[in-house]
């Protein structure tokens, strides 16, 4: 990932509503959510949601596909993973013990917790 890509992604996440939308889509998993479902769940006006989804899509964090009359949006997990990997690429100077809290925090589905 290039620094400019990371800056674009972090810029897209620099507004609470857009961050909420992305977190909602991450929670939704690979099946994603239709725009109307996202708006209803988060209490966001459709035009505000449309703008947020456009910015997140342009930053490469969200993808969409048509499902009949609906447009379904999904978090691009590979792009989010690349962003996190870029951020922590040189974590703790290679000291595995110092990095342990970071690696534990990044475990999506720790033992005893079912996948969403």
Q: Is residue 39 part of a domain?
A: yes
Q: What is the pLDDT of residue 44?
A: 94
pLDDT exceeds 50 at position 116:
no
Q: Is residue 99 part of a domain?
A: no
Q: What is the pLDDT of residue 87?
A: 85
Q: Which two tokens stand for residue 29?
A: 């998993």
- Confidence class for position 113, pLDDT limits 50, 70, 90: low
Residue 44: half-sphere exposure toward Cβ, Cα within 13 Å: 22
Q: Is residue 23 part of a domain?
A: yes
Strand locations in the chain (E): 33-34, 62-67, 70-75
pLDDT, one tens digit per residue, over 26-73 is 999 999 999 999 999 999 999 999 999 999 999 999 999 999 999 999
Q: Is residue 101 part of a domain?
A: no
Mean per-residue pLDDT of the chain: 88
CA pair distance 4, 16, nearest whole angstrom: 21
Per the structure, the count of domains in the chain is 1
Q: What is the pLDDT of residue 111?
A: 57
In order of 4, 10, 13, 34, the CA distances from 108 in angstroms are 26, 21, 20, 23
Q: Which two tokens stand for residue 51?
A: 């703008």
Q: What is the pLDDT of residue 101?
A: 80
pLDDT, one tens digit per residue, over 86-100 is 888 777 777 778 877
CA pair distance 26, 2, nearest whole angstrom: 23
Q: What is the pLDDT of residue 105?
A: 77
Higher pLDDT, 107 or 39: 39
Angle in degrees, CA 52, 59, 80, rounded to 5: 100
Q: Is residue 26 part of a domain?
A: yes
Q: Is residue 60 part of a domain?
A: yes
Range of the domain at 69: 3-78
Q: Is residue 69 part of a domain?
A: yes
Beta bridge partners of 63: 74
The DSSP code for 115 is: -
Q: The CATH number of the domain where 39 resides is what?
A: 1.10.10.10
Q: Is residue 94 part of a domain?
A: no
């Amino acid at each position: 990932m290039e620094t400019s890509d990371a800056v674009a992604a972090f810029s897209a996440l620099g507004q609470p509503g857009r961050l909420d939308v992305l977190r909602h889509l991450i929670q939704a998993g690979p099946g994603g959510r239709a725009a109307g479902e996202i708006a209803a769940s988060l209490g966001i006006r459709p035009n505000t949601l449309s703008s947020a989804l456009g910015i997140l899509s342009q930053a490469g964090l969200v993808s969409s596909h048509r499902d009949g009359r609906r447009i379904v949006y999904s978090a691009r997990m590979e792009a989010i993973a690349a962003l996190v990997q870029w951020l922590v690429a040189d974590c703790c100077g290679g000291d595995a013990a110092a990095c342990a809290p970071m690696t534990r925090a990044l475990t999506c589905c720790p033992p005893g917790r079912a996948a969403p």
